[in-house]
Amino acid sequence: MSAPYFKMNKKSVCFVFVFFFTCSLFTQPQLKTFDTKIKIKTEKEVYLTLEPIWISISIKNKDKTGPKIPRSSLDERLYILNSKGKQIQSLIVSSFSDVSPMSQGELIEESRNILPAFGSEGEILGRYLAPDVYRIKFLWRQSGYNPIFSNEINITVKVPTGEERNAMEVLEKGIEKRMEKNIEEADKDFYELVNVYPNSVYATRSLRYIMLNHAYREGIEHDEKRMLAAKMLLEKYPDNEYITECFHQIKYYYNKIDDSEGLRNYFNNLAEKTPDKELKEKIIEELKSL
């Protein structure tokens, strides 16, 4: 009697387990789906080693009837794979996290330079993406909702040739001297690059290295050198990616020498002369805060 009773109990246990497991599938909250479009793009398809790679990300709420989309996300990242299909980086993009939900039809955008996510500052060349072909896709995931992927884009990073190769070699020399703490000689290399190869993709990076060379160093001469490099960045390359840093260095120097009038005059003159509309608008906003 005991053996059949045991077998019957075993079958009963299995039945109960399957029953509750099946029920749990139906009682689990179903993931919702946003009617949302995510698009990523770059300015071009081919980049040189050490050249900044800017990716624009846009998210649009296309839902015209449903609730607002919350922005407090679980995951916002760019997935980057090399030509062998190996994921080399998943870059978190935190700027889209916001307490304010997205209204129907609302569009939010951001541009991100992905280059700082690669390599190591301890290497001679600093952070860079090695020559290869890369596939990039953006993921946006919210709690309780199905994940949303963007379109996939391809970019190619290649070794520079011709004048750009010469410019990169000058940049490498300057970086090596900078790492050896020989900042005066490093400055000469960085200025040489800007003067000899003013149209190089590495020119703005050279000027920023000059600002970095004199950061956290005592003495008004170091403040002045940072300021001069910042002014050259704004005047020669008004669409550079270091505008906020340039403003800071220029304001710091004029405040240090207690010359608020000179600061206002410089920004006013730059606003009048610059052909870049976006920089002009930023200068006008900066003047309002002075």
pLDDT at 65 over 90: no
pLDDT at 288 over 70: yes
Residue 63 confidence class, pLDDT cut points 50, 70, 90: confident
Contact criterion met (CB below 8 Å) for 173 and 189: yes
Residue 48 confidence class, pLDDT cut points 50, 70, 90: very high
Residue 141 confidence class, pLDDT cut points 50, 70, 90: confident
CATH number of 162-289: 1.25.40.10
- Written as one letter, the residue type at 147 is P
Q: Which whole number is the average pLDDT over 142-157?
A: 85
The full DSSP string for 204-257 is: HHHHHHHHHHTTT--SHHHHHHHHHHHHHHHHH-TT-TTHHHHHHHHHHHHHHT
CA angle 136/88/168 to nearest 5° reads 85
Which one of 77-81, 110-114, 282-286 scores highest in mean pLDDT?
282-286
**Residue in this structure with the two tokens 């002075």, named with its chain if needed:** 290
Q: Which whole number is the average pLDDT over 141-154?
A: 82
pLDDT at 121: 45
Structure tokens at 189: 């290399």
Under CATH, to which class is 36-158 assigned?
mainly beta
Question: What Å distances lie between residue 170 and 24, 125, 185, 192, 238, CA to CA?
Answer: 65, 12, 12, 8, 23
Tell me which of 225 and 64 has the higher pLDDT. Answer: 225
Q: Which whole number is the average pLDDT over 115-129?
A: 59
Which one of 5-9, 87-91, 165-169 scores highest in mean pLDDT?
165-169
- Rounded-to-integer distance, Cα 130 and Cα 155, Å: 12
- Rounded-to-integer distance, Cα 203 and Cα 240, Å: 10
Phi, psi dihedral angles at 229 (to 5 degrees) = -65, -40
- Rounded-to-integer distance, Cα 168 and Cα 5, Å: 82
Same topology between domain 36-158 and domain 162-289 = no
Q: Report domain extents, the chain.
A: 36-158, 162-289
What mean pLDDT is reported for the chain?
82
Q: pTM surpassing 0.85?
A: no
Q: Which whole number is the average pLDDT over 117-134?
A: 66
Write the pLDDT tens digit of every residue in 200-251: 999 999 999 999 999 888 889 999 999 999 999 999 999 998 999 999 999 9
